[in-house]
Amino acid sequence: MNAVKNERPVVLITGAAKRVGAVIARTLHDAGYDLALHYRRSREEMDALSAELEAQRANSTLALQAELAEIENLPKLIDSVVARYGRLDGIVNNASTFYPTPIGSVAVQQWNELFASNAQAPFFLAQAAAPHLRSARGSIVSIVDIYAQHPLAQHPVYSMAKAALAAMTRALARELAPDVRVNAIAPGAILWPASGKAAADQSDLLARTPLGRIGTPADVATAALFLLREAKFTTGQILSVDGGRELVV
């Protein structure tokens, strides 16, 4: 039995439970989207976010737990969204793994883990979702990084994985045209790392950012909404949301 098609557009957001992902979820929800919200381990945060959004509009969210490194889970995620809503209009590839991998000490497990969330999962999600996105004339938005173009010291594997995601954005923009638009956002400093950042490092980064501040999750979320909803003649593009930092990197 086919699901009844949802009246509102539906977007799947990976890594949606907290930080930037949660703000993207709130922003899209406020704009009228119903949401499939993926999380990995942050069950408590996801429960709180879902309750918050459901209080605003009942039956507007679907929480989905999955390990994105397990490729066999990815088509199941798409199937779950379509079974619930009868449609899929967009994907926001927000989930990301980030940690240093100094050259000379990189293990295969680290390579696999960093590529799994930052490149592999976005591709196989797109492949599984393509028929539904074509039907909806939908959109994919991936969160890349300025380090895809300007590699971060001590983080070669992360930087390469994000570069692969940037290349995927351009490649899928060609492969899925004209029905599906595929774009990305390359944020600069949006939040200081959860483990903290030395004051001197913070000052140095701000000195190299023309707008003189770090960004906010809302800066990324509004860019995602623009690419999903407004940028109807834009595909294969990577939008820098970095306060002008790429001008002086």
Q: Which residues contact 28 (CB under 8 A, 6 or more apart)?
A: 11, 13, 35, 92, 221, 224, 225, 228
* pLDDT at 2 exceeding the cut of 80: no
Domains of the chain: 10-247 (3.40.50.720)
- In the residue annotation, 158 being an active-site residue is answered as yes
pLDDT at 214: 84
Which pLDDT belongs to residue 1?
44
User: How many Cα atoms sit within 13 Å of 38 on the Cβ side?
Assistant: 26
Residue 191: beta bridge partners?
none
* pLDDT, tens digit, 9 for 90 and up, residues 235-249: 999 999 988 888 876
Residue 92, pLDDT score: 98
Q: Give the tens place of pLDDT for each residue, 208-234.
A: 888 888 889 999 999 999 999 999 999
pLDDT given for residue 244 in this prediction: 87
Q: Which one of 33, 39, 147, 158 is the catalytic residue? A: 158
What's the whole-number mean pLDDT along residues 9-26? 97
Q: Is the peptide bond before 178 cis (omega within 30 degrees of 0)?
A: yes
Query: What is the pLDDT, as a whole number, of residue 235?
Result: 98
Task: Check residues 5 and 49 and name the one with the higher pLDDT.
Answer: 49
- Which pLDDT belongs to residue 225? 98
How many other C-beta atoms can be found within 10 angstroms of the C-beta atom of residue 197? Answer: 14
Phi-psi region of 235 (alpha: psi -120 to 50; beta: other; left: phi over 0): beta
Neighbours of 42 (CB within 10 A): 18
pLDDT at 59 over 50: yes
Structure tokens at 105: 């000490």
Say if residue 195's pLDDT is above 60.
no
